[in-house]
Chains A and B, each alone.
Chain A
Amino acid sequence: KAGVTQTPRYLIKTRGQQVTLSCSPISGHRSVSWYQQTPGQGLQFLFEYFSETQRNKGNFPGRFSGRQFSNSRSEMNVSTLELGDSALYLCASSLAPSGIEQYFGPGTRLTVT
């Protein structure tokens, strides 16, 4: 099976812009979670989607949003970008939302200038 894929892999944006990141889970996996990784804050949970519904949301401002499509692919959107949004954004897929194995994608490296 192909692994989790994310596009784009690298992105440079300026403050105030918005960005959309995409994640395709492992075939058959229906749960997608998103995480932000920074040197200062480590790995932090953003949100989780299952069956096109957001099940959990981390402690991030409303500028961060996401959605999931019927084929389980997910997108996350960040509006009004700030310098502090520069990070590696990782998505992880799992069969179901029940505390089981999550497999990470390669991430999207977002740089905000």
Chain B
Amino acid sequence: GENVEQHPSTLSVQEGDSAVIKCTYSDSASNYFPWYKQELGKRPQLIIDIRSNVGEKKDQRIAVTLNKTAKHFSLHITETQPEDSAVYFCAGTETGANNLFFGTGTRLTVIP
């Protein structure tokens, strides 16, 4: 089955700086890669996703890039704000399936 690895496990940045979280996957059949944000005590919230026919996707301060050849994808958050502090999870699955394989999470702390 799919194996998704995520780095770093913790990340601290100053408010206004950028944050980058990286994930790698093992199954070349995986072609859908969502990112979830989970605040303490709350449900995971889908923040952005990308499919394998696209190399990059942006939504305001958030962007995701995908390198199919290297089997890795990254989340980029620019101009970070304290409310960005949360645990971020990457995941992957193949089209036609809804069994998401999650990375182990990155705890992002934005220091005011």
- List chain A positions with a Cβ less than 8 A from chain B: 31, 33, 35, 42-45, 48, 50, 55-56, 58-59, 90, 92, 94, 97-107
Contact = CB atoms under 8 A, between A and B. Distances in A.
Contacts of A100: 32
B95 A45 contact: no
B49 A104 contact: no
B100 interface: yes
A107 B40 CA distance: 13
Nearest to B43: A104
A106 B39 CA distance: 12
Interface residues of B, number: 27
Is chain A's binding surface mostly helix, strand, loop or mixed?
A: strand
A107 B98 contact: no
A43 B99 contact: no
Contact of B43 (A59, A97, A105): A105
B102 A43 contact: yes
A101 B36 CA distance: 11
Contacts of B99: 33, 45, 48, 56, 58
Nearest to A43: B102
10 contacts: A33-B100, A42-B104, A43-B91, A48-B97, A58-B99, A90-B44, A94-B98, A98-B96, A99-B96, A104-B36
B43 A48 contact: no
